[in-house]
Amino acid sequence: MHILIVEDDEVARDSLAKALREAGHSVDVAGNGLDGLQMASAAGVDLAIVDRMLPKLDGLALVQSLRATGRKLPVLILSALGDVDDRITGLRAGGDDYLAKPYHMSELLARIEALARRGDGSTAENNTRLKLSDLELDRMTRRVTRNGKKIELTAREFQLLEFMMRHSGQVVTRTMLLEGVWDYHFDPQTNVIDVHISRLRQAIDKDFDKPLLHTVRGAGYSLREDE
């Protein structure tokens, strides 16, 4: 994936570029908003990571101008500002996701993967049936089966599984789950998400040989077929 980083903090920019290259992406960097807008408008960029406070052109203005030209490129906004409302302003300006500094690289990489997948449309939002290996989920009938056997889930477990299946093969972080499933944007002090995941794991993996729900150390969880 070809990723554009628009960030004026050199240290953060360089480590981000390095980490993205190590993750197998090609990277372009811009140090101010105007250069960033120009480069983002060019073809060939698959995704942009834009800092909110930039010299010459503010990050939000950059995204707004980009959207005004009809460019649909996925954008992740990084912000060193407060929160609560800043997040909403960022998404309203046309950002697809929002991450506050300081962030874990694993969190950022997971979000980029999710954004890229959303962008190429390979997981149709409207798909009513989701399938991974022998695990099937039907959004219409709200029925989940594994290997043809019906699995009973609570409403929340169903939502959690649906979110995981939409992002199957990717790493999903705890904050992504909290945002995507509960619509909460804060870090709980206790390991509430882990307990929910272990419940779900009990339900879908317990009676089967091949586990599908994996813990990714230091990052989050992943629903995938083990090769």
Q: Which positions touch another protein (CB under 8 A)? A: 9, 11-12, 15-16, 18-19, 22, 53, 80-85, 88, 100-105, 156, 182, 184-192, 195-196, 198-199
- Minimum distance, C-beta of residue 2 to another protein, in the bound complex (Å): 21
Please count the CA atoms within 13 angstroms of the CA of 124 that sit on its side-chain side.
7
Find all residues with CB under 8 Å of 52, minimum gap 6, and list them: 58, 59, 60, 77, 78, 79, 80, 81, 86, 90
Say how far apart CA 223 and CA 178 lie, in whole Å: 16
CB 171 within 8 Å of CB 177? no
- Minimum distance, C-beta of residue 52 to another protein, in the bound complex (Å): 9
CB closer to another protein, 53 vs 116: 53
Q: Which DSSP string corresponds to 54-118?
A: -SSS-HHHHHHHHHHTT----EEEEE-S--THHHHHHHHTT-SEEEESS--HHHHHHHHHHHHHH
CB closer to another protein, 131 vs 156: 156
Number of neighbouring beta carbons within 10 Å of residue 25? 17
CB closer to another protein, 122 vs 190: 190
- Minimum distance, C-beta of residue 15 to another protein, in the bound complex (Å): 4
- Minimum distance, C-beta of residue 184 to another protein, in the bound complex (Å): 5
CB closer to another protein, 85 vs 209: 85
CB closer to another protein, 104 vs 143: 104
- Minimum distance, C-beta of residue 105 to another protein, in the bound complex (Å): 5
CA torsion sign for 203, 204, 207, 212 is: negative
Say how far apart CA 108 and CA 217 lie, in whole Å: 15
CB closer to another protein, 42 vs 81: 81
- Minimum distance, C-beta of residue 162 to another protein, in the bound complex (Å): 16
